Chains A and B, each alone.
Chain A
Amino acid sequence: MCGAPKQGGALAGIDLTTQTVIQGSVWHDGTPVAGAYVRLLDATDEFTAEVVTSPEGEFRFFAAPGEWKLRSLAPVGRAERVLSAEVGLNETTLAIA
Chain B
Amino acid sequence: MSRTDVLVSADWAQEHLGDAGLVFVEVDEDTSAYDKGHLEGAVKLDWKKDLQDPLRRDFVDKEQFEALLSSKGISNDDTVVLYGGNNNWFAAYAYWYFKLYGHDAVKLVDGGRKKWELDSRPLSDAEVSRPATTYTAQEPDTSIRAFRDEVVAAIDTKNLVDVRSPDEFAGKLVAPAHLPQEGAQRPGHIPSAVNVPWSKAANEDGTFKSDEELAALYADAGFDGAKETIAYCRIGERSSHTWFVLKELLGHENVKNYDGSWTEYGSLVGVPIAKGA
Contact = CB atoms under 8 A, between A and B. Distances in A.
Q: Please determine whether chains A and B interact with each other in the same assembly.
A: yes
A76 B37 CA distance: 19
By secondary structure, the B interface counts as: loop
A33 interface: no
Interface string B179-200: 1110000000000000001011
B234 A2 contact: yes
A62 B178 contact: yes
Contacts of A35: 117
B172 interface: yes
B78 interface: no
A64 B238 CA distance: 21
Nearest to A68: B177
Interface stretch (A24-32, A46-54, A88-96): A46-54
B29 to A, nearest CB: 3
Interface in A1-25: 1-5, 14, 18-20
Interface residues of B, number: 37
B86 A62 contact: no
B4 to A, nearest CB: 27
Contacts of B87: 50
Contacts of A64: 167, 172-173, 181
B32 to A, nearest CB: 9
Interface in A39-90: 39-40, 42, 44, 46-52, 60-64, 73-75
A48 B205 contact: no
Q: Tell me which of B47, B85, B178, B234 has the highest count of chain A C-beta atoms within 10 A of its own C-beta.
A: B178
B65 interface: no
A49 B48 contact: no
B204 to A, nearest CB: 6
A43 B180 CA distance: 20
Contacts of B177: 40, 48-49, 61-63
B173 A63 contact: yes
Nearest to B206: A37
Contacts of B90: 3
B176 A49 contact: yes
Contacts of A52: 33, 85
Interface in B98-138: 114, 117-120
B197 A46 contact: yes
B89 A2 contact: yes
Contact of B178 (A19, A44, A50): A50
Interface in B11-62: 28-30, 33, 47-48
Contacts of B48: 1
Contacts of A50: 86-87, 178
Contacts of B28: 3
Interface of B: 28-30, 33, 47-48, 85-87, 89-90, 114, 117-120, 165-167, 172-173, 175-181, 197, 199-200, 204-205, 234-235, 237-238
Given A5-B179, A61-B177, 9 more contacts: A3-B30, A14-B180, A42-B166, A60-B178, A64-B173, A64-B181, A73-B204, A73-B205, A75-B118
7 closest A-B pairs by CB = A3-B29, A47-B199, A49-B177, A4-B178, A49-B178, A48-B165, A3-B30
